[in-house]
Structure 1
Amino acid sequence: MTGTLFLVPAPLDFGCDTQAPLQDALPDGTLRTAARLTHWICENAKSCRAYLKRIDALHPLAAPLQQQQIAELPREVHKKGDHGAAHAFDARPLLAAALNGHDIGLVSEAGMPAVADPGSSVVRAAHELGIAVAPLVGPVSLLLALAASGLNGQNFAFVGYLPQDAAERAQRIKDLEALALKTGQTQLFIETPYRNPALWQALVQTLQPHTRLALASGITLAQARFQSRLVRQWRQQPAAPDNRTPAVFALGR
């Protein structure tokens, strides 16, 4: 019998100054399932081991950290994505243990793997090989941010990262705003934390005054911040996100 590929959510405090208690961010059933796994596919082995160490403090691991079988996704998958004809990645060799009967955990740095993070190629390969896929319950920053935004939760899109070039970024913001105002579709996007202030400044300067702009940062942490205002209100009360805390941005009507 083949094993199962479990999609294991990770806490959203990766890279943050503080960490939330693991049992507050993830259900006990998810943590128990993760504790019994001994084979992993991840973005970074060091981060994966750190997460497993946190799990071990609550539920003893089935094997010591040194004996956990951890495989990393190639760096190009992180940088270029792991789907699409130009950058397709064959993840089937990473699932050999599942074909031999071992359950495997797929984990990203934060949140649900394969959602705004690498991993979709592994899930796709599992389906191609006839390996069962089982997503576990845990935090997904995009959905938590959307729910707290007051924006349209019936029609929305995640558009990833905006361009770093100032002119290209401004044009992309205008395009997303036009789409949101025309269709009512909420537009969600993220940024590397150290560029959060620059993106925020571009949003407040570029968007029309009546567009609604929402910010969610430090999700699941004690210092979590959820705010949603019209752009004209943001201009009157500027409050840019810091350059250390992961954030999700959303705009719409």
Structure 2
Amino acid sequence: MQTALYLIPVTLGETPIEQVLPEYNKEVIVGIKHFIVENVRSARRFLKKTEPSINIDELTFFDLNKHTNRDALESYLKPIENGFSVGVISEAGCPAIADPGADVVAIAQRKKIKVVPLVGPSSILMSLMASGFNGQSFAFHGYLPIDSSERIKKLKLLEQRIFSEDQTQIFIETPYRNTKLIEDLVKHCGASTKLCVAMNITCEDEYIKTLPIKSWSKHISEIGKLPCIFLLYK
């Protein structure tokens, strides 16, 4: 295996490993002893689920989350300079996509370290695939503003871009604000604008539904307080 920074996708929820990740990923994982992870506990659980024979105590984990001192990131890549590969593991889905892993990848690119993205599930792309919206032109905006007036202003701006640029708009929200977000969409966006809500993608209780915004007031109770991907289009 070539020495590199490997970007290792994980399952979305409790989906069986073999259902969403290729066997090759396991071959890469067992050859790595150093991991940069968003959450050490969940990363250890994922690695053990992928290959039960892995000795977790022999592995080295570097934390990479909102609390990490960014000045320390470059040191996380030191094993590569000594000939040992490093893996990046997100909390869910693909690392470096809406994920702090992008920061260490940027350092690797700057230092001309080989970066290898492995195949795995992305809730952003899979929700777009299933939405029926424009997959030729789309934008992901991350979290919307917390302030109510700023959030409404942002939603109106996104809706304008749907029609002016023929572009699907994708964003996420803190789960406990799901209901308020949909209420704002129903109240402030055009009745014919379409909203797709996707959650628990690849899991047994997968939910992906596209409806005109005016119809969503009848379905708010279906969403609850679970992590969702929201997509807007005309």
* Shorter-chain TM-score tier: over 0.9
Distance 1:226 1:74 in 2: 29
CA distance in 2, matches of 1:233, 1:251: 14
> Which residue identity is paired with 1:91?
L
Which residue number corresponds to residue 177 of structure 1? 159
CA contact (8 A) 1:35 1:55 kept: no
Structure 1 position 24 matched with structure 2 position 6: no
- 2:7 is the counterpart of 1:7: yes
Cα pair 1:214 1:250 within 8 Å, conserved: yes
- 1: distance between equivalents of 2:15 and 2:26? 15
Gap runs ≥5 in structure 2: none
User: CA offset at residue 239 of structure 1?
Assistant: 4.7
- Over the matched positions of the two proteins, sequence identity in percent amounts to 36
Separation in 2 of the partners of 1:197 and 1:74?
27
Change (3 A) 1:237 1:96: closer
Q: Deviations over 1:8-57 (max 9, x none)?
A: 001111xxxxx221211212211231232111001121121111121123
Corresponding position: 1:115 with 2:97: yes
1:164 match: secondary structure: coil
The residue type equivalent to 2:116 in the other structure is: A
Distance across 1 between alignment mates of 2:199 and 2:172:
10
Structure 2 equivalent of residue 34 of structure 1: 29
Kept in 2: contact 1:200–1:241 (CA 8 A)? no
Q: Which amino acid aligns with 1:246?
A: P
Which secondary structure state, in structure 1, belongs to the residue aligned with residue 204 of structure 2?
Answer: coil
AA aligned opposite 2:3: G
Tell whether 2:59 aligns with 1:68: yes
User: Does structure 1 residue 45 correspond to structure 2 residue 40?
Assistant: yes
1:249 maps to 230
SS of the equivalent of 1:36 reads coil
Q: Does 1:100 align with 2:95?
A: no
Using structure 2 for the length normalisation, give the TM-score: 0.93
Deviation at 1:195, TM superposition (A): 2.3
2:143 pairs, out of 146, 152, 161, with 161
Question: Which sections of structure 1, spanning at least 5 residues, go unmatched?
Answer: 14-18, 79-87
Between the aligned partners of 1:103 and 1:119, the Cα distance in structure 2 is: 16
Question: Normalised by the size of structure 1, how large is the TM-score?
Answer: 0.86
Residues 93 and 114 of structure 1, relative CA distance in 2, 3 Å threshold = same
| 1:108-134 Cα distance to aligned partner (Å, 9 max, x none) | 101111101111121111122221110
- Counterpart Cα distance in 2 of 1:34 and 1:107: 10
Q: In structure 2, the residue corresponding to 1:91 is in which secondary structure?
A: helix
C-alpha distance in structure 2 between counterparts of 1:111 and 1:6, whole Å: 14
